[in-house]
Amino acid sequence: MQFPDYRPRRLRASTMFRRMIRETVLTPDDLILPLFVVGGKNVKNPIPSMPGHYRFSVDNVVSAAREARDLSIPAIMLFGVPEKKDPLGTQAYAKDGIVQKAVRSIKEKVDGIAVITDVCLCQYTDHGHCGIVDKGEIDNDASLDLLARTAVSHATAGADMVAPSDMMDGRIGIIRELLDEEGYARIPIMSYAAKYCSAYYGPFREAAQSAPQFGDRRTYQMDPGNAIEAIRETALDVEEGADIIMVKPALPYLDIVYRIREEFDLPVAAYNVSGEYAMVKAAEKMGWIDGEKVMMETLTSIKRAGADMILTYFAMDAAKGLRGKG
Ligand code: PBG
Ligand code: ZN
């Protein structure tokens, strides 16, 4: 059908028509809220580059989880900021580590929200790398055991799902194996499968105090120019037992989200990272954009590209905006 018989504008003529033919509709079910947890009591320490986000002590992170649950957000993702760091990141897998404490407390006090834990070493190592360091190099294989122990200690504390973000080779298989051995066969793994070496992580590293103290993450995170490699990376994680595959960051890698969605039949997550959040907040503060509208358009674009779920610092704001709609 051609113009003038076909006129696409006919179905754009009213809110009702637009609602009827809308292909992608955001709901709170699509959202996962990342939260930062620190030691102490009654701490709510603002993160300057991420307005509206805080480093919470365990008591306050429980309230934040409850608030997210009340907004119908199905899951949170916990990041720990430990008091002590050392070369082996021992606080990552300590029974009384900060994430372990937070998980126990949230699971005890708040029903109806899933707790996913970020599994990595960078917040816990004094050198700030995601694996352990030997003679200035990241020792892939020596890191695997520590990552698996971290995942098991999160599961033991009550985590509903674990999410390894380190990008070491072989980690998903080792984590799956140890979880199964320790009686956690039911705990799913959300794998940061295609995680790029991105400058968009800046605000997060400030929030989590996890910037590498020497060098950068280019030897383990993916090169921004690569797309075919993302398929290969993801295929490995799928073979090793990933239950959900993630692309990170989201906006500069929407093509990857789309390709991963086409290629694999597992649920796909996309991480709308700290720098993506900070840019919108900064431009909004300058009065240059309508922050609320840009947020909704951004999240819709990530879902439209193929993400089944979106990790986003906008989760609370978006869920509030969606209340009473849909
Ligand atoms: C580290 C980790 C990073 C993020 C989550 N886990 C960044 C990094 O590689 O330093 C980034 C999240 C964000 O920017 O919002 N394992
Ligand atoms: Zn890391």
In the chain, the domains with their CATH numbers are 24-322 (3.20.20.70)
Q: Which ligand gives the minimal distance to the CA of 205?
A: 1
Which of 33, 204, 314 to mutate to test ligand 1, by most ligand atoms within 8 A of the CB atom?
204
pLDDT for the residue 208: 92
Q: Which pTM was predicted?
A: 0.97
Q: 202 C-alpha to center of ligand 1: Å? A: 8
Catalytic residues: 195, 248
Q: Could you say which residues of the chain have pLDDT below 70?
A: 325-326
Atom from ligand 1 closest to the CA of residue 272? 15
End-to-end CA distance of the chain: 32
- Cα–Cα separations (whole angstroms), residue 192 to 24, 82, 247, 287, 292: 24, 22, 6, 34, 28
In this structure, the residues whose C-beta lies within 6 A of any atom of ligand 1 are: 118, 120, 122, 130, 165-166, 201, 204-205, 210, 217, 273-274
Q: 188 C-alpha to center of ligand 1: Å? A: 20
Long-range contacts, 252-259 (Cβ 8 Å, 24+): 252/196, 252/198, 252/200, 252/224, 253/194, 253/196, 254/301, 254/302, 254/305, 255/227, 255/305, 256/194, 256/227, 256/230, 257/302, 257/305, 257/306, 257/307, 258/305, 258/306, 259/227, 259/230, 259/231
pLDDT for the residue 325: 67
Which of 53, 78, 120 to mutate to test ligand 1, by most ligand atoms within 8 A of the CB atom?
120
As a whole number of angstroms, the distance between CA 41 and CA 252 comes to: 38
What residues are paired with 138 via a beta bridge? 133
List pLDDT tens digits, range 118-145. Answer: 999 999 999 999 999 999 999 999 999 9
Long-range contacts, 143-148 (Cβ 8 Å, 24+): 143/168, 143/171, 144/168, 144/170, 144/171, 144/174, 145/174, 146/88, 146/89, 146/92, 146/93, 146/121, 147/119, 147/120, 147/121, 147/171, 147/174, 147/175, 148/174, 148/175, 148/177, 148/178, 148/179
CB atoms within 10 A of CB 226: 14
Place of tokens 């509903």: 160
List pLDDT tens digits, range 211-246. Answer: 999 999 999 999 999 999 999 999 999 999 999 999
Identify the CA nearest to 272 among candidates 243, 296, 240.
296
What is the residue with the minimal CA distance to atom 7 of ligand 1?
Answer: 201
What residues are paired with 189 via a beta bridge? 162
pLDDT for the residue 138: 96
Q: Which ligand gives the minimal distance to the CA of 121?
A: 2
pLDDT for the residue 315: 98
